[in-house]
C-alpha cells in the first residue's frame, strides 16, 4: 500500500523568534502554502490513496479561517485520497477548534482522544489525537490489533522514549511498547527532524517538519513517501522546502574593528535560497554590538547575527600592573599554563577572567 506521510506543518506560525525582519514571517507563511500544494500535486500525479498527517498541521492560537479554507480546498483536489489527521499539541481537538467546528471535506478523517480504528479494503488505520495542549498517556498499552493478517497502520503525535520532563508532557510512548503492538507502519509527528532510516526496515517513522521553522531545524525537510507490505517497507524522503537555514561562522580573532568585521561579512557570497545566521567566534579586540552591525549588512539572506566571541586579554602584560587586576592576571596566567587542563576547565577559567576583569574595571 502506497502512502504519503507528513507532520508538523504549523500553518500560520508567527515565526516571531526567527528574525527582526517583519516580512520574513509572511514569506514563510506563503512557503507553507506552496509546500502543501507540492504535496497535493505529488499525490495527484502518483495516485497515492492515503495521506497521513501526524499532528501540528496548524497553530491553534494563530490559525485563520481563511487558512483552514485554503487547506481544505487543497484536500478537495484529491477526492480519491483518504486523509487521516492525528491532532497534536499545537492543534489539539478542542471544542472550539476548527477540527470540531469546521466542515471538512468528506475524504478527511480527524482522530480524537480515544483510539479509533478505520477499516479500509487494504488496511486498518488506528489513530489518536490530542484533546488538550498536553497529553501524558494516550492509552497505547491497552490497544490491540484486531486483524493481524491485514496491514495495520497507526498515526500518532508524541515523543518516543522521552528522556526529559518537557517531552513527557507530549504523549510519551516507550518504543518497545509500540514495537510489540505489531503495526506495519507507525506514522509519528512532533519531532521536527526526520527519522526513517536509522535502522533496517524501520517502521516507526518521523517525517520531520515539512518546512523548517528556524535555525534549530537545520537540514532537509519534506515528506515521507512509503510503500508498505507485510514483508517489506520502502521509504523515501522527498524534499519540499526550497529554502534552508544555514549557520556560518566568522572568526574575529584577527579583525581589529567593527568596520573591518562588517566588510568581511559583506564580502562573502550568499545563496538566495538560504536564510543565514552569522555566528561570530574567536577572541575579540573591540566591543561588538550585533544590532548595530546588523544595520550595515547588505545581504537580505542574513537574518541573524550571534556573538559567541570571547574578549582578548594580554595576561602577560596585565600581570605587570601593580594592582589587584595585575595580581589576578598573574594567578590566572599560572593556571592557564597548566598543560593538564581540560578544554572545559580552560573555558571556565576564561569565563572567570572575563567576569573578574569586568568587575575590576
pLDDT, tens only, 207-238:
999 999 989 899 999 999 999 999 999 999 99
| Domain residue spans of the chain | 2-239, 244-359
DSSP-derived secondary structure for 180-203: HHT-SEEEEES-SS-BSSSSTT--
DSSP sequence for 310-328 = EE---HHHHTTSSSHHHHH
327: left (phi over 0), alpha (psi -120 to 50) or beta: alpha
From the number of C-beta atoms within 10 Å of its C-beta (0-12, 13-18, 19+), residue 87 rates as buried
Contact 277, 261 (CB under 8 A): no
* Residues 6 or more apart whose Cβ sits within 8 Å of residue 180: none
Report the pLDDT value the prediction gives residue 16, as an integer from 0 to 100: 77
- And the C-alpha cell for 181? 503492538
User: Nearest CA to 172 among 185, 193, 188?
Assistant: 188
Q: Report the DSSP beta bridge partners of residue 237.
A: 224
Instruction: Tell me the whole-structure pTM to 2 decimals.
Output: 0.85
Q: What's residue 302's pLDDT?
A: 93
pLDDT at 226 (0 to 100): 97
Tell me the C-alpha distance between 63 and 14, whole Å: 10
Q: What is the reported pLDDT for 361?
A: 66
pLDDT, position 74: 98
Q: What is the CATH number of domain 2-239?
A: 3.60.21.10
The list of the chain residues with pLDDT below 50 reads none
The predicted pLDDT at position 340 comes to 86
Instruction: Report which of 65, 71, 56 is spatially closest to residue 6, judged by C-alpha positions.
Output: 56
- In whole angstroms, what is the distance from residue 207 CA to residue 83 CA? 16
Amino acid at each position: 500500500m502506497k502512502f504519503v506521510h507528513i507532520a508538523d506543518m504549523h500553518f500560520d506560525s508567527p515565526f516571531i523568534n526567527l528574525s527582526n525582519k517583519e516580512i520574513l514571517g509572511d514569506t514563510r507563511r506563503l512557503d507553507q502554502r506552496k509546500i502543501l500544494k507540492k504535496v497535493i500535486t505529488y499525490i495527484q500525479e502518483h495516485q497515492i490513496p492515503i495521506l497521513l498527517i501526524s499532528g501540528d498541521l496548524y497553530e491553534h492560537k494563530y490559525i485563520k479561517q481563511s487558512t483552514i479554507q485554503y487547506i481544505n480546498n487543497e484536500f478537495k483536489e484529491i477526492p480519491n485520497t483518504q486523509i487521516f489527521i492525528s491532532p497534536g499539541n499545537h492543534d489539539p481537538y478542542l471544542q472550539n477548534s476548527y477540527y470540531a467546528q469546521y466542515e471538512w471535506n468528506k475524504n478527511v478523517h480527524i482522530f480524537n482522544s480515544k483510539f479509533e480504528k478505520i477499516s479500509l479494503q487494504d488496511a486498518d488505520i488506528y489513530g489518536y489525537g490530542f484533546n488538550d495542549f498536553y497529553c501524558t498517556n494516550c492509552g497505547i498499552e491497552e490497544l490491540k490489533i484486531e486483524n493481524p493478517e491485514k496491514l495495520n497502520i497507526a498515526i500518532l503525535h508524541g515523543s518516543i522514549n522521552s528522556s526529559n520532563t518537557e517531552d513527557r508532557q507530549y504523549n510519551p510512548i516507550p518504543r518497545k511498547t509500540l514495537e510489540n503492538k505489531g503495526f506495519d507502519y507507525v506514522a509519528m509527528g512532533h519531532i521536527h527532524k526526520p527519522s526513517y532510516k536509522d535502522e533496517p526496515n524501520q517502521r516507526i517513522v518521523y517525517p520531520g517538519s515539512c518546512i523548517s521553522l528556524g535555525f534549530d531545524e537545520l537540514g532537509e525537510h519534506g515528506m515521507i513517501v512509503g510503500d508498505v507490505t507485510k514483508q517489506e517497507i520502502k521509504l523515501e524522503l522527498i524534499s519540499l522546502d526550497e529554502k534552508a537555514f544555514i549557520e556560518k561562522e566568522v572568526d574575529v580573532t584577527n579583525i581589529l574593528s567593527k568596520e573591518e568585521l562588517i566588510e568581511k561579512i559583506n564580502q562573502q557570497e550568499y545563496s538566495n535560497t538560504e536564510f543565514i545566521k552569522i555566528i561570530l567566534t574567536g577572541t575579540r579586540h573591540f566591543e561588538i554590538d550585533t544590532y548595530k552591525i546588523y544595520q550595515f549588512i547588505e545581504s537580505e539572506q542574513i537574518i541573524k547575527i550571534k556573538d559567541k566571541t570571547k574578549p582578548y586579554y594580554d595576561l602577560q602584560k596585565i600581570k605587570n600592573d601593580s594592582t589587584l587586576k595585575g595580581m589576578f592576571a598573574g594567578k590566572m596566567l599560572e593556571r592557564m599554563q597548566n598543560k593538564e587542563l581540560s578544554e572545559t576547565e580552560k573555558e571556565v577559567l576564561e569565563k572567570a577572567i572575563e567576569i573578574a576583569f569586568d568587575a575590576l574595571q
